[in-house]
Amino acid sequence: MTPAARIQAAIEALDAVLAGARAEPVLTAWGRRARYAGSGDRAAVRDLVFDALRRRRSYAALGGAESGRGLMLGRLRARNEDPEDCFTGDRHAPAPLSAAERTAGRPPAGTEALDLPDWLWPAFRESLGAEAEAAALALRHRAPVHLRANLLKGDREAAASALAAEGIETVPVPVGTTALEVTAGARRVARSRAFADGLVELQDAASQAVVDALPLQDGARVLDLCAGGGGKTLALAARLRAPVDAHDAAQRRLAELPSRALRAGAAVRLVAKPEAEAPYDLVLCDVPCSGSGAWRRDPDAKWRLTPDMLAELSRVQDAILDRAAMLLRPGGTLAYATCSLLRAEDEARIGAFLSRASGWRKTSERRWRPGSDGDGFYLALLTREF
């Protein structure tokens, strides 16, 4: 595909997303239809679409319209590239620009320049204070590719050496003791021997740092209550070098965890009713949330979030905290984590829990901001006193 044809494919995908579809299914369906598109073409179109979604408001302002054409036109202008070179109508390129498109567009202003919905900016500012603008701008950039060295198979240095032997270059990420950033050869990771043998797993460095911050003791009984795909479950099992229980309210999310655990050499037990297995020494609740700290990876989620959805997420988070509290022994640790930057999902939920539950105290609280060291995360540790 020519560069212009890739832009036209991105325009069509963006129009579908702007009409309400989710980006990943749209791109998957396009890839299946576009038999002529090679792997490089599919990756390039995906990058165009995700970049446009990360910067949807600023590109729309520059392009003069919140449409696929408007976003791609805005992207070219933001990069100081001449749109006339791509919008030619030749060989599957976008149709030539109209007179209105040539004169439309303006510099983004206010929250447009931060690429946030207007309603969300006050919550960002309240939650992050002086760091709010920097966090919003960080979410406009592509996330780095991070790997976790599997301690059950070797340390970070051994993993880096194995990857280097296959032409995959990495550097350590300071925020996590097992974290590596891929600096060259990222598309080879999933096909590498190091990955197939379980030496590494794809996992954000800040997500790894959350697990590093958990108080794990030999012989501890640990439950990952909202395990999802199991990234933190596997990291827990590697650190503990012992079995870890995993549960998720949507059991289908756990479908690949047994095969991932087998590859990693990790002892993971899927538990349908954790109440029957309680009490635990530590329960990790990586709760469903807005995902605002990870919007670099799922940028259309930023535009789907509404105040009503945020309120409903808070109710779900409260219910999970209450459930987790019943699963711990006295002296046990409840670890509450989100990949959210919003106080409403983080400090406010812990405060609400402590106000309605007796016999608990907060022992630590920490935030990670989105940047080169990883996505945005929040972690609070609570101890059950009786």
- Other Cβ atoms within 10 Å of 187 Cβ, number: 12
Contacts of 180 (CB under 8 A, 6+ apart): 146, 147, 148, 149, 156, 159, 160, 163, 170, 171, 172, 173, 200
Instruction: Yes or no: say if 274 and 222 are a contact pair by the CB < 8 Å rule.
Output: no
Does 86 participate in catalysis according to the annotation? no
Q: Determine which one of 86, 285, 289, 339 is catalytic.
A: 339
For 96-101, which contacts have Cβ atoms below 8 Å and span 24 or more sequence positions?
Answer: 97/73, 100/64, 101/63, 101/64, 101/65, 101/69, 101/73
Q: Where are the alpha helices (DSSP H) in 129-229?
A: 132-138, 156-164, 193-196, 205-212
Q: What is the distance between the alpha carbons of residues 327 and 211, in angstroms, rounded to a whole number?
A: 19
Contact status, residue 290 vs residue 342, Cβ threshold 8 Å = yes
In angstroms, the CA 139 to CA 334 distance is 29
Q: Just list the catalytic residues.
A: 339
